[in-house]
Amino acid sequence: MRHLLIAGGAGFIGSNFVHYMLEKYDDYTIIVFDKLTYAGRLENLERCRSNPRFRFIQGDICDMAAVREAVQRHDIDSIINFAAETHVDRSIMEPDAVVTTNINGTWVLLEVARELKLERFHQISTDEVYGAIPAPSRSKEGDPLEPRSPYSASKAGAEHLVYAYFITYGLPVTTTRGSNNIGPFHYPEKAVPLFTTNAIENIPLPIYGDGLQMRDYQYVLDHCEGIDLVLHKGALGEVYNVGTEVETPNIEMAHKILDLLGKPRSLIQHVVDRAGHDRRYALDCAKLRALGWRSQHSFDQALEKTVRWFVANEGWWRPIKSGEYLDYYRKQYEERG
């Protein structure tokens, strides 16, 4: 495994993974294949633009000819699929894009990987495929998938295709299911970067419902290390959970952001809840720990680093919070009161 095609590598986790891999391995070439949707940004890859082991291709994972051409031209031996429509609220407003990209796009990548006999196909999946998990249960990799939103259902569908290609065609696949990531380049529609940037701008922080929903917020580079380990030591056909195994209620996360920024709690505004909102996700990560992985950041450390990054990088997020973003924001939050 030396020549990687990173689908969706201009997004939040994908771009962090590209930097991580280029810095860690000096004999890997990385080809980012990304459609550059509203969430994909070339600025995220600025740090490696001049690296001779890096190339960027703008393309849609649903376009089989374009994917095939990229794989052949760059002698790709492995595909890592980060490309997806990733926002649950957008998937509720407009479910068509998650079905097209997350399911059909994953199928196209699998077909090309099969046709060209690639060494590895790795799918980036999510803890949301397990559905809402009542305390004190934790999801293990063999548990049933019970997704409840269009986004999580599309990610579960994609996972089923990945496994089907392993069983039916013997394609060498692995899958990771990550919990909520936070860190640099996180698009400010997601809760942590939205609350952080709103707080900096003294705009209310919209908490859905009572704010007691629990999420396992992990630092993005811990997730990247987990993916790297599974790529190199994971068993083919297997799935690995990646998370801190510590859950935090959203309201507590919002309080911590306000405290870190020295802002008043009066900025918190409870708004109408997300439809079908999953109350809690919780992973059991023993299988990945058995390969030698440990999460390096506690929630507090991850959050502090993240908030500091947003304070220091206003030039990254301020231009995003304009134009199309403002239309989306109005549509999403006006209805919530």
Catalytic residues: 127-128, 151
Binding site for ligand NAD (CB under 6 A): 7-8, 10-14, 34-37, 39-40, 60-62, 82-86, 101, 105, 124, 126, 155, 178, 180-181, 187
User: Applying CB under 6 A, which of residues 179, 197, 244, 295 lies at the interface with ligand DAU?
Assistant: 179
Distance of alpha carbon 281 from the chain centroid: 15
- Shortest distance in whole angstroms from residue 207 CB to ligand DAU: 5
Q: Which helix (H) or strand (E) holds 170?
A: none
Do residues 178 and 127 lie in contact, with contact meaning Cβ atoms separated by under 8 Å? Answer: yes
- Torsion region of 306: left, alpha or beta (phi above 0 gives left; psi -120 to 50 gives alpha): alpha
CA 89/CA 38 separation, integer angstroms: 15
Q: What DSSP designation does 215 have?
A: E
Residue 157 interaction partner, one of ligand NAD, ligand DAU, none, beta carbon < 5-8 Å per kind: none
- Shortest distance in whole angstroms from residue 211 CB to ligand DAU: 6
Do residues 173 and 179 lie in contact, with contact meaning Cβ atoms separated by under 8 Å? Answer: no
User: Applying CB under 6 A, which of residues 139, 176, 213, 241 lies at the interface with ligand DAU?
Assistant: 213
> Segment near ligand DAU (CB under 6 A), from 1-9, 126-134, 289-297, 321-329?
126-134
- Shortest distance in whole angstroms from residue 118 CB to ligand NAD: 17
244 binds ligand DAU (CB under 6 A): no
Of residues 253 and 267, the one with the C-beta less far from ligand NAD? 253
Q: What DSSP designation does 273 have?
A: P
Of residues 152 and 267, the one with the C-beta less far from ligand NAD? 152
Of residues 166 and 185, the one with the C-beta less far from ligand NAD? 185
Of residues 124 and 267, the one with the C-beta less far from ligand NAD? 124
Do residues 45 and 9 lie in contact, with contact meaning Cβ atoms separated by under 8 Å? Answer: yes
- Shortest distance in whole angstroms from residue 151 CB to ligand NAD: 8
Q: Which helix (H) or strand (E) holds 325?
A: helix 324-334
**3-state SS assignment for residue 70:** helix
Distance of alpha carbon 325 from the chain centroid: 19
Of residues 77 and 184, the one with the C-beta less far from ligand DAU? 184
Distance of alpha carbon 176 from the chain centroid: 11
Q: What DSSP designation does 101 have?
A: I
Binding residues for ligand DAU, per CB under 6 A? 86-89, 126-128, 179-180, 190-191, 194, 206-208, 213, 215, 250, 274, 281
